[in-house]
Amino acid sequence: MGNLNISTVTELSGSRIILEAFLQEGVHTVFGYPGGAIIPIYDALYDYKDQLEHILVRHEQAAVHAAQGLARVSGSVGVVMATSGPGATNLVTGLADALLDNTPIVCITGQVFEHLLGTDAFQEIDVMNVTSPVTKWNYQVTDANELPEVLAKAFYIAKSGRPGPVLIDVTKNAQLQQVSYTGYSPCHSLRSYKPDPVPSMENIEKAAELINNAERPFIIAGQGIMLGKAEKEFVQFAEKSGVPVAWTALGMSAIPTDHPQAVGMVGMHGNYGPNILTNQCDVLIAVGMRFDDRVTGRLDQYAKQAKIIHLDIDKAEINKNVKVDAPVLGNCKETLPLLTSLVRKKEHPDWHQKFKDCLEVESLNLINDELYPTEEEITMGEVIRYLNEITMGKAVIVTDVGQHQMVTCRYSDFKLPRTNITSGGLGTMGFCLPAAIGAAYGERNLPIIAVMGDGGAQMNIQELGTVMQYHPEVKILILNNSYLGMVRQWQELFHEERYSFVDIQSPEFVQVAKGYNIPGKKVTQREELEDALREMLHHKGAFLLEVMTGKKHNVFPMIPQGKSVSEIVLNHKQ
């Protein structure tokens, strides 16, 4: 079926209007799960098989995570469809994850007939009130005449400004209703919604003056750089200013990790130098990040000596957690070139040397033992080291949540932007596998590696069925330490080793994968590791590799809860 001629007035059902909107918005892939209240849309989808690829996930939460994976690697809007009642409520965790990580998603949910609203009909739930706290915008459609305008708004709101998830709830009568359709017009502005603030040249000039006069300036790169598609502009700014660059977990890959000015990750399990030197810099330049508590540690002891420059698109983030001296509102794709034009070219060699000295301390006390262990047990760090050597930093790495996530973020090499995909703000276990499936549809032509722990692997393990049915090229790497490792680490360090319900038993993952026609292998010895990783990466199609790692390894460095970034510790003894 070809696209409708939008100059022609024709009769269309609400269901077909929705699908036409997807096509006009450039959507190629939809993740969903059918049910009674959304059957009309799925019936219409039968005629769009050659234009829209629908991926039948095994749980609605996974549909949102898959849409997130696609959106994060491609920069486009992810699309989800689900039915009413439990179908809609199953979306909530994914929506919350997308909201906190600013991922553009449009979800279409079916709803009972309009005359049944409020009657506690079968599979009726108040989706508007349920999803309002976890969406950027939500709206219920009861008349198909509204659909073209509402859908155009939905895509515009989801992807503009600070992106986020949007949910449109469509009653069954509106899906079936035949209305006159004159075409679809994408939305480019809304009267009451101003997503892109006009930059203040006065503030940009103030920021440039602070940078030009600084002796110890320090950049923290956040995900806003990639959301604004400003990676090129950011690197140009960094290189001209000569300032050391660190990143948040979500800001990783905004600049190549091997860039001469790259100094590592900030935050609770970030690198030693970027954390302690945060409290020694004289100007802190935060680009597209929100001063999350896992980054700042104790706020009353965070960068108090420094002048703070904050580039952000969302006014609500300015002065929310950290008092800012020079706020630069706007899309960093626009504001960074303006700032770059005003900063003087510098190199700051003595300041860079301090970061190098800190890295040497961290390497001697921690990194070398993590990447090149001499003990018998395999470490998560050495697994990531081998991945780096094989992929050369050119792969999409999707992680779940826990110790493996922090190790992977700490040690992975990233040469390309939008290749580090993880659940940051919400920390959703079970995120990884469906997000990796979605990333496989992001058209990046890169290996997709899903790194997860044995706990998170079991939270959405049913999505192996999605892999079996659609054959995405996903490499599943389970780092199995036979514990809920991050919780166990906290119980060891802060709760007197009272290990309460963290000793998790797992199935034979390779056998489970075999049941889904996915080949796999289990590694227990270091001598097998490199060859097994190469086999996984070179295998055509999906592959599951389980690696047994040390049961009681901890992730360091660590900023203990309630401590400042200056109090980061390198090992258990400290």
Q: Which one, of 117, 129, 124, 110, lies nearest residue 33 by Cα? A: 110
- Angle between helix axes 231-241 and 332-340 (nearest 10 degrees) is 20
Options 1, 49, 122, 552, the catalytic residue:
122
Instruction: Report the Cα–Cα distance between both ends of the chain, in Å, rounded.
Output: 66
Residues sharing a CB contact under 8 Å with residue 491, sequence separation 6 or more, in sequence order:
497, 498, 499, 500, 502
Q: Which one, of 88, 79, 95, 74, lies nearest residue 423 by Cα? A: 95
Q: Which secondary-structure segment (H or E) carries 226? A: helix 224-227
Q: Can you point out the beta strands (E) in 360-507? A: 396-399, 420-421, 448-453, 474-480
Q: Which secondary-structure segment (H or E) carries 309? A: strand 307-312
135 and 95 Cβ atoms separated by less than 8 Å: yes
Active site residue 60: yes
Burial of 394-404, coded b for 16+ CB within 10 Å and e otherwise, reads: ebbbbbbbbbb
Q: What is the DSSP letter of 249?
A: T
Three-state DSSP string of 319-372 = CCCCCCCEEEECCHHHHHHHHHCCCCCCCCHHHHHHHHHHHHHHHHHHHHHHHC
CA angle (177, 180, 186) in 5-degree steps: 100
Beta bridge partners of residue 181, listed in sequence order: 10
Options 172, 354, 475, 521, the catalytic residue:
172
Active site residue 307: no
Three-state DSSP at 124 gives: coil
H helical segments located in 259-305? 272-276, 293-296
Active site residue 486: yes
Residue 501 vs residues 89, 456, 494, 505: alpha-carbon distances, Å? 28, 15, 16, 11
Options 429, 486, 536, 558, the catalytic residue:
486
Three-state DSSP at 30 gives: strand
Active site residue 573: no
Residue 50 vs residues 45, 311, 438, 483: alpha-carbon distances, Å? 10, 43, 19, 45
Q: What is the DSSP letter of 421?
A: E
Residue 76 vs residues 82, 172, 243: alpha-carbon distances, Å? 20, 28, 31
> Whose structure tokens read 């270091």?
526
Q: What is the DSSP letter of 297?
A: B
Q: What are phi and psi of 63, to 5 degrees?
A: -60, -45
Active site residue 356: no
Options 22, 25, 31, 60, the catalytic residue:
60
Q: Which one, of 126, 308, 354, lies nearest residue 211 by Cα? A: 308
Rounded to whole angstroms, how far apart are CA atoms 143 and 146? Answer: 6
Options 51, 114, 123, 522, the catalytic residue:
123
> Whose structure tokens read 């994976």?
69
144 and 13 Cβ atoms separated by less than 8 Å: yes
Catalytically active residues are 60, 122-123, 172, 486
